[in-house]
Structure 1
Amino acid sequence: MPSVPSTPSRLTRRQFAQKALASAAVLSAPAFLRGQNLNSKLNVAIIGSGGRGGASIKGLATENLVLFCDVDEKRNDAAAANHPKARKLVDFRQAFDHAAEFDAVVVSTCEHTHAIATMLALKHKKHVYCEKPLTHNVYEARKIREAAAAAGVVTQMGIQMHATENYRRVVELVQGGAIGPVHEAHVWVSRAWGLQSKEASDANKDRVFVTERPAGMPVPAGLNWDLWLGPAPERPFNEVYVPGPKWYRWWDFGNGTMSDLGSHWNDLPFWALQLKAPLTIEAFGPKAHPEIAPATMRAIYEFGARGSLPPVKLTWHQGQDKPAIWTEKGIPQWDNGVLFIGSKGMLLSDYSKHVLLPEKSFADFVRPAPTIPKAVSHWQEWVSACKGQGKALANFDYSGWLTESNHLGNVAFRVGKKLEWDPVTLRAKNAPAADQFLKRDYRKGWSL
């Protein structure tokens, strides 16, 4: 069973809080710059050219894309087709043999290799944009956040909703006191990708019905399966893992819907309520499967007071699970949503819209003037920050905490016990069994 190193006992909780504030200060300071204005272009390395990498390639069309790396050579060739002078590689570790050729790195690999590629970029003091979730586990999230603070570069986790007008206006309303102090919040998503029932699998071809590791199949031409596995435990190739997002149902490669959509949906309450480390985490759902994440589950987080903000309970509902106020039709029946419950009313939001409830009570409400700057796009916000203009608001100092919390929901689910969390020692004080899910050993040849 892998162990989680303890933080030295001399680090008090007050010192821990001061260290976290210092990290934020480092990230807000100007990083090293290749160009001094927005007219210069960043030289960018793309690690993970297919899938989400394709979206990043489009989002960064204003910059110089100088290196493409993917374990699938066909996808890599297609991505680099419009960049004939770019270097093409299969193993992202080799990209840093050419570190002088680029200023910034985009990490769009599968979740289980995010941290290793990101850490290499940070060690070489490159600006980094990493797709969500930032890491595969809690320990990696902590190490990446700390490394980013030490590197002093510009970072961004790929949670594109963070750059939308809707999310920014919701944050202003909540933080401006529109619904009063918030003591309770709920997030629900209807996606149920995980351990599927036979019936659900038969109804949707994207939902593969498996209950154990499948037998091996021939590896498709052009795919380097050993490099795709990276630090994960070795197993034979099977089409239930790739292509597409199939892999994230498997604990060895992903963490199911919680870490995937949790990055987008829990982002809003994390931002609006200024959350970091929970005090306790408890999860409910079917019996935990040793290989595959659940399709339906619920996780309850309790956060303490944050300055003048009161303690708050945040509940994550996934798949068929919904908040009681939703099932009782006390709010609009949105398929996915975030509900803030305050002393003066409620605020309901999804990705693109929001409403203050009850609507009659807010008929004469005057909205505050916007204070959070408008973003051209999530990618361009990062690019501008790399060039010394503005700040990347989903930086690793923020998204590292969000990632830790999301992973802890899964840890509580897998342990089957309410966790009393200590963010200083990075351990559940009452549940040593949680240690095995906080980090893992890597295959030979891979390290953080």
Structure 2
Amino acid sequence: MAPRLPRRQFLAAAGAATVAPFLARRAPAFLQEAGPGRPEKLRLACIGTANRAGDNIAEVRHEQIAALCDVDRGFLARAQGEFPEARAYADFRALLADADALDLDGIVVATPDHIHAAATALALGKGIPVYCEKPLTHTMEEARAIVALARKAGVPTQMGTQIHATENYRRVVELVRAGAIGRVTAVDCWVTKSWGDGRLTPGAVAPETLDWTLWQGPVPEAPFIEGIHPANWRRYWNYGTGTLGDMACHIMDLPVWALELTGLRAMKMQVQAEGPPVDAVGCPGWLEATWSIPDTAVGGPLVLRWFDGGRQSPFVKEIGAKDGQDYHQRFSVCFQGTDGALLANYDELLLWPQGRFEGFVPPARTIAPSPGHHREWLDAIREGKPNAPLCNFEYASRLTRIVLLGNVAYRAGVPIEFDFCDHQIDSDRTLEHLLSAPRREGWALPSTA
């Protein structure tokens, strides 16, 4: 085995001038060795271990799981059984305090929405690459802070919108950008599920295995709610973002990507939403939201619409009736252009009307296949390419904020005009409290200055 080299010697030998800035500040563990003995596995920590977090662990288990963290000791014990050499933590703050000793190359954050920003911010502050589940953050203000911290850290990041890596999404983006249906004027997105109608349950007692205070993280202390753990937290404003926040990061990702709505250029939009009467505790059982964008990077105005909880797109309902098809069950996105429509889901697409597109020749493939959503991030760490993952936090922050604006407009009860350049509600500055949430003492995010 080749002798271990100090990090500075290895970087010099590798050609430090070609190494990304984040490597010069903090080298991943694998860069601490060279030659035939160079380790092949990255050292990762996983914050959250069950349900979706368990799925993420399965995607990175071929690396070295160096640490596990979960506020439910039952879930943590089960994960420890799979990775007995990993150090176990209940509090991610303790884990990150040990980051140097753990010699971490990356952290996977898969917790309830309200924890995303706190865990991610601490990791970025230590120069550690982060993979964080969607939505990137719980609030608009957190999303703004996280992208600033990511820029400062200069490390590989990726939001867990794994559908972004599919071949079908790539083909749809290519069709839209090639003008297959002309200029896109509107896009309807929908999902039939509902994460709404959360209710308080006075007198409920947290499971014996759960540290309820720690589970709440930055959210002000509140009584336990029956059934909220491990999955129903999505129904509550304090911890989740409802159906829109859960699913739109997957579904609206397609038009946001295809129409380049996440660029650094300034963008303004009017957003309005309707649903059942606003509840201070629970997210709505159904929601319709509209984003009116006067000008986009690809040219011209755009109307983006969202439907959930059984609500349906009038346009999709109309063309489905003409074709004798239930397109709402079959698809989840419909691009409407000057020369036709394009319906899509995760793995299928349809150009409409079908007769007009008989013999249609698809455009040349311009978007390279993904090695896998998690693999994009892992490869970026190995190769020192911070911006290589396609759902890096620069992209993910804008996507998340576009999505969350729908919830902001719904809770405001009036249409809002939002300016991404100034990150403010131009139409009514008194509504800006909806862009953030109260934080418990000791849980402030790091400064982005």
TM-score when normalising by structure 1? 0.86
1:47 alignment partner AA: I
The one of 269, 280, 284 aligned to 1:290: 280
Matches within 5 A, 1:80-119: 80-100=80-100, 101=102, 102-119=104-121
Structure 2 vs 1, CA of residues 348 and 39 (structure 1 numbering), >3 Å: closer, same or farther? farther
| Aligned equivalents of 1:389, 1:369: Cα separation in 2 | 30
Q: CA shift at 1:156, angstroms?
A: 0.5
Q: CA shift at 1:429, angstroms?
A: 1.3
1:312 aligns with 2:302: yes
2:172 alignment partner AA: V
Secondary structure of the residue aligned to 2:227 is coil
Contact 1:166 1:353 in 2 (8 A): yes
Please name the residue that 1:222 is paired with: 209
> What is the CA RMSD across the aligned residues, in angstroms?
1.9
1:333 alignment partner AA: D
Contact 2:134 2:160 in 1 (8 A): yes
Contact 1:428 1:434 in 2 (8 A): yes
| Aligned equivalents of 2:437, 2:260: Cα separation in 1 | 29
1:258 aligns with 2:253: no
The one of 397, 403, 408 aligned to 1:406: 403
Please name the residue that 1:350 is paired with: 345
Matches within 5 A, 1:416-427: 416-427=413-424
| Aligned equivalents of 1:220, 1:71: Cα separation in 2 | 11
Structure 2 vs 1, CA of residues 39 and 306 (structure 1 numbering), >3 Å: closer, same or farther? farther
Please name the residue that 2:317 is paired with: 327
Please name the residue that 1:6 is paired with: none
Describe the superposition over 1:376-410 as per-residue Cα deviations: whole angstroms up to 9, x where unpaired: 32111111111128721011100100111111100
Deviates more, 1:368-377 or 1:55-64: 368-377
Please name the residue that 2:432 is paired with: 435
Matches within 5 A, 1:17-416: 31-32=22-23, 34=28, 35=30, 40-100=40-100, 101=102, 102-195=104-197, 212-243=199-230, 245-276=231-262, 277-328=267-318, 329-330=321-322, 332-334=325-327, 335=329, 336-388=331-383, 391-416=388-413
1:232 alignment partner AA: V
Q: CA shift at 1:369, angstroms?
A: 2.5
Q: CA shift at 1:330, angstroms?
A: 4.8
Deviates more, 1:256-265 or 1:269-278: 269-278
Secondary structure of the residue aligned to 1:81 is helix
Secondary structure of the residue aligned to 1:281 is strand
Structure 2 vs 1, CA of residues 313 and 85 (structure 1 numbering), >3 Å: closer, same or farther? same
Describe the superposition over 1:259-300 as per-residue Cα deviations: whole angstroms up to 9, x where unpaired: 000111110010001113551101112211111111111110
Work out the number of aligned pairs and report it. Answer: 405
| Aligned equivalents of 2:354, 2:39: Cα separation in 1 | 46
Bigger Cα Rg: 2
Moved over 3 A (4+): 28-31, 35-39
| Aligned equivalents of 1:39, 1:172: Cα separation in 2 | 38
Q: CA shift at 1:359, angstroms?
A: 1.2
Q: CA shift at 1:218, angstroms?
A: 2.5
Contact 1:31 1:388 in 2 (8 A): no
| Aligned equivalents of 1:149, 1:220: Cα separation in 2 | 39
| Aligned equivalents of 1:307, 1:140: Cα separation in 2 | 25
Describe the superposition over 1:84-141 as per-residue Cα deviations: whole angstroms up to 9, x where unpaired: 2211000000111211221100001110010000000110111100001110000000
Q: CA shift at 1:216, angstroms?
A: 2.8
Q: Structure 2: which 5+ runs fail to align? A: 1-18
Describe the superposition over 1:204-249 as per-residue Cα deviations: whole angstroms up to 9, x where unpaired: xxxxxx6x42213232122111000111121122323112x21111
| Aligned equivalents of 1:330, 1:381: Cα separation in 2 | 42
2:270 alignment partner AA: T
Contact 1:278 1:301 in 2 (8 A): no
1:268 alignment partner AA: L
Structure 2 vs 1, CA of residues 303 and 39 (structure 1 numbering), >3 Å: closer, same or farther? farther
Q: CA shift at 1:444, angstroms?
A: 1.8
Q: CA shift at 1:446, angstroms?
A: 1.2
Structure 2 vs 1, CA of residues 54 and 416 (structure 1 numbering), >3 Å: closer, same or farther? same
Deviates more, 1:299-308 or 1:323-332: 323-332
1:445 aligns with 2:442: yes
Please name the residue that 2:10 is paired with: none
